Amino acid sequence: MDFNKKACLLAAALMSCMHAFAQKKNFTMAEATNGMTTTLAPKNIKGFSWQPGTERFWRADKKDSADIWTYTDYTKQSAPATANVEPGDYPGKTAKSSLPALKWLDKDNAYFQNGKDLITGKLDDNKWSWTKWTTLPDNADNVTVSKNRRIAYTIDNNLWMYDNGAVQATNETDKNIVCGKSVHRDEFGIDHGIFFSPKGTYLAYYRMDQTMVRDYPIPHWDTVPAIVDIIKYPMAGGTSHQVALCVYDPATKKTVVMKTGTDEKDHYLTSVTWSPDEAFIFIAILNRDQNHLWLNKYDAKSGEMIKTLFEETNPKYVHPTHSLTFIPGKNDEFIWWTERDGYDHLYLYKTDGALVRQLTKGNWVVNDIAGFNMKNKEAIITTSKESPLEKHIYTVSLESGKVSRLDKDAGMHTALCSEDGKYVYDSYSGQGIPRNCAIYSTSGSFSDKLLSAPDPLITYNRAQVRNITLNINTADGALPLYGKLILPPDFDSTKLYPTIVYLYNGPNVQLLHNTFPESGNLWYEYMAQHGYIVFTMDGRGSWNRGLAFEQATFRHLGDVEMEDQLHGVNFLKRLPYVDGNRMGIHGWSYGGFMTTSLMLKHPGVFKCAIAGGPVMDWKMYEVMYTERYMDRPQDNPDGYAAANLLDKVKNLKGKLMLIHGTNDNTVVWQHSVNFLKKSVDEGIQVDYFVYPGYEHNVRGKDRVHLMQKITDYFDQNLK
């Protein structure tokens, strides 16, 4: 080949590469908003489940464009067996039916819900046979299934049970007495109100009396004239609801109430757990001040309290969020989660209250208990031990507390264990890893890689992402804060860029992780593609850094968090490519409170801001959350006054847009409406937009409208 021909080919190759690079596209607003859960979602393993009593996992698959199940059996570790299983016909199946997710009842039996029909299936010689179990009423909710095939559900405010026929377990005629539903406004880790005993013999449930709580109107504008939904919303310092735990016996049709009564009727009941033998129920009782917890043991048949196993106190607050986890095969040993040493760790207890040992310890948080390998006498857990930005899988010895890491790669790992704990399914993502899935033995002797997902964003103009660590000085020394700087794809350090700070910085939430996409949010990258720098950081008060980090905000929400965020702003202003005169800020919910706080308490720092669903006055927010972090208004008037934004409207400099859902029953609409009234009174101009019919956030296709509204506002005021 002569030189000229080589040169031509090289030039053509270079032009091809340049053309391919130039062809990379920007995200549409729809892709930036919902793409990671729809069209741009990384490939995944669908319908994963471990079959009980086996070392076999199932997944939803396709064969010749038809839906099938595939299982892999690791009984013979050296030669795992894989087979395809036809789903077979089931009642209600149509040509458009997608493969349902299996919910196992036992080794050979499973069920799933198809519309209002519950379908049961039996596996025999790798073939499924299906029958319709029952059809639930149209208004059935909170459907819960026991191991012995009983079904509990709620209709309006009452609890029903199906066992070869429907039986009404409660008969409350007052709609403000609610049975079988989540209570305490989903605080304290509560997300349901029905608790079948392990064998399904008994049915425990929450009974919430809200008759003493003030009514609150939620208007609905989709009819003419508009109608009002009256809810019960206990506000900080006001009267709260009263909750009991009841046990219904299907054999006798009788109900027993656990005798949890104290002088303080508006205490909180959480961590509800049955003993494996169904003889006892354990309940964590937290006082209204949330600084004193009693873990009590009750006789399930009589409701009598047997004893208080132990108490926990904290001068600020105790925050239980997990039920007890009994050790498999033992009726007298359980794991209790607590932050008593400053971090959420696991403690092994006897059911008489005797502490056996602390299982995990260190300046890191346990995130999940995934399972147990009782042959090796160990639990499988996930923790932030390596970094608050990551989650990894470990075994922890129940005898010595020794922890051993199972996974190998950086990132955010989730674990699903086989019933015997011999194998763990690990699905994770991280920097440059859209999703990897693998099976490995908890002994470390075997691994099987199932999926390495291709990059769904490879054809896009990706933002540059820089991980930032900023140190702040506290009474306990320097403390690192973690952030991300998202830069335009064609970033030029000699230019000045408008910059947006996105924040939440409230309790129980962490924005920053080592995950995919590296930015954490494709909307950040959309803004970077359109000439912005975006900065986000978790300051003190946020989750996963231990109790002291979170409790730094106690009784004065907004102060320390603003100090940390302004530390981030000062970092940004020192960067030669950040235009300090064109800075914006945006946050939702607690982030909306923070956004508005910064605009009013530190006017002039930001040229414009967008606050979604913001808390404006903590006296108008719910009892359980607010009083944990602020105490009651009557006990902390100065803290509530300092955090109140309604009397600080006159301080506003720059442009502020408020956004709220008209049906918001979390941060009620009145927060921003009252702010508007104050703005009128003070002669202050603010911008406002509402989303009719939406509650605390805007989801689905209409979220694209929301994010376009936010983007347009920044474009109008920062460009």
The question of whether 556 is a catalytic residue gets the answer no
Q: What are phi and psi of 283, to 5 degrees?
A: -135, 130
361 and 401 Cβ atoms separated by less than 8 Å: yes
Catalytic annotation present for 447: no
Find out whether 483 and 551 touch, Cβ atoms under 8 Å: no
Please state whether 666 falls in left (phi above 0), alpha (psi between -120 and 50) or beta. Answer: alpha
DSSP bridge pairs for 380: 371, 395
| Residue 343: both structure tokens together | 């971090």
Q: Which of 197, 275, 589, 672 is catalytic?
A: 589
Which residues make beta-bridge pairs with 424? 417, 440
Residue listed under structure tokens 């989660």: 337
Is position 664 annotated as part of the catalytic site? yes
Degrees (nearest 5) of the Cα angle 139, 141, 143? 130
Supply the DSSP symbol for 590: H
Burial grade of 304 (CB within 10 A; 0-12, 13-18, 19 or more): exposed
> Cα(512)–Cα(526) distance, rounded to whole angstroms?
18
Q: Are strands 103-106 and 109-114 parallel, antiparallel or unpaired?
A: antiparallel
Q: Which of 407, 426, 538, 664 is catalytic?
A: 664
The alpha-helical segments, DSSP class H, found in 492-636 are: 522-529, 547-551, 559-574, 590-601, 623-630
Catalytic position from the list 192, 530, 567, 696:
696
The residues, ordered by sequence, that sit 6+ positions from 435 with a Cβ below 8 Å of its Cβ are 42, 43, 44, 427, 428, 429, 451, 453, 516
CA distances to 11, 14, 27, 169, 581 from 18, in Å:
10, 6, 20, 70, 36
Residue among 480, 434, 486 nearest 456 (CA):
434
The residue count of the chain comes to: 719
Neighbours of 493 (CB within 10 A): 9
| Residues annotated catalytic, as ranges | 589, 664, 696
